Chains A and B, each alone.
Chain A
Amino acid sequence: DGGITQSPKYLFRKEGQNVTLSCEQNLNHDAMYWYRQDPGQGLRLIYYSQIVNDFQKGDIAEGYSVSREKKESFPLTVTSAQKNPTAFYLCASRPGVYQPQHFGDGTRLSIL
């Protein structure tokens, strides 16, 4: 079955540490997205990529970095510069503009 796989499901970060969240899709979608969701809140866009080797900042990109070297993969790194990283992170993809997004099941990141 086609879909989006996020790993790990739970992740813990120590002070001063960078961590990387994985997102892989086998839907052959061009566009991929990373969102942050805080408890009881909506989704805030961190980064998005419309095509391989290209990505744009979303509304809350500070303290995060991404890469898009392959169509299938869009990893998100939460750097030590992100002082409040505890949140639920969702990855999504879509086949083209004005189409629905497909979501992974998220990674919950906490601070040790």
Chain B
Amino acid sequence: SQQGEEDPQALSIQEGENATMNCSYKTSINNLQWYRQNSGRGLVHLILIRSNEREKHSGRLRVTLDTSKKSSSLLITASRAADTASYFCATDSMDSSYKLIFGSGTRLLVRP
């Protein structure tokens, strides 16, 4: 079953604008991860935020985590056409099950 729900399902922005994607989940987690998938390719890990962290940065990426609301957001600043891809959140539950639960993804289109 899919735990993560992402919002919006699709997002279209102009190059240079910021893109924000949201993820909600249902159970207690150890960490939340964000992945990127270019069309027809595998997923690439972007950033991992642990349950005791509230914000994390990596280059133009900023991730926030609110465990009280069971939600996370991914902000991509100063977007580029090359950022066009699908973005997925994934949660690692506290039960050490080795399973990641993926959300349904946000399809981002950055127009040149």
Tell me which residues across on chain B come within 8 A of A59, comparing CB atoms: 1
Give B52 Cβ to nearest chain A Cβ, in Å: 12
Count contacts on B: residues with CB < 8 A to the other chain.
Answer: 26
Indicate if the CB atoms of B45 and A101 lie closer than 8 Å.
Answer: yes
Indicate if the CB atoms of A31 and B98 lie closer than 8 Å.
Answer: yes
Tell me whether B25 is interfacial, beta carbon within 8 Å: no
Indicate if the CB atoms of A42 and B92 lie closer than 8 Å.
Answer: no
**A100 to chain B: closest residue by CB:** B45
With A and B bound together, what is the CA distance between A104 and B30 in angstroms? 25
- Tell me the number of A-to-B contacts counted with CB atoms below 8 Å: 58
Indicate if the CB atoms of A102 and B2 lie closer than 8 Å.
Answer: no
With A and B bound together, what is the CA distance between A59 and B30 in angstroms? 21
Which applies to chain A's interface (DSSP): helix, strand, loop or mixed? strand
Find A48's partner among B41, B99, B103, B105 (CB 8 Å cutoff). B99
Indicate if the CB atoms of A43 and B102 lie closer than 8 Å.
Answer: yes
Tell me which residues across on chain B come within 8 A of A6, comparing CB atoms: 42
Give B65 Cβ to nearest chain A Cβ, in Å: 15
With A and B bound together, what is the CA distance between A65 and B57 in angstroms? 40
Indicate if the CB atoms of A42 and B102 lie closer than 8 Å.
Answer: yes
Indicate if the CB atoms of B42 and A106 lie closer than 8 Å.
Answer: yes
Indicate if the CB atoms of A97 and B105 lie closer than 8 Å.
Answer: no
Indicate if the CB atoms of B31 and A98 lie closer than 8 Å.
Answer: yes
With A and B bound together, what is the CA distance between A79 and B60 in angstroms? 44
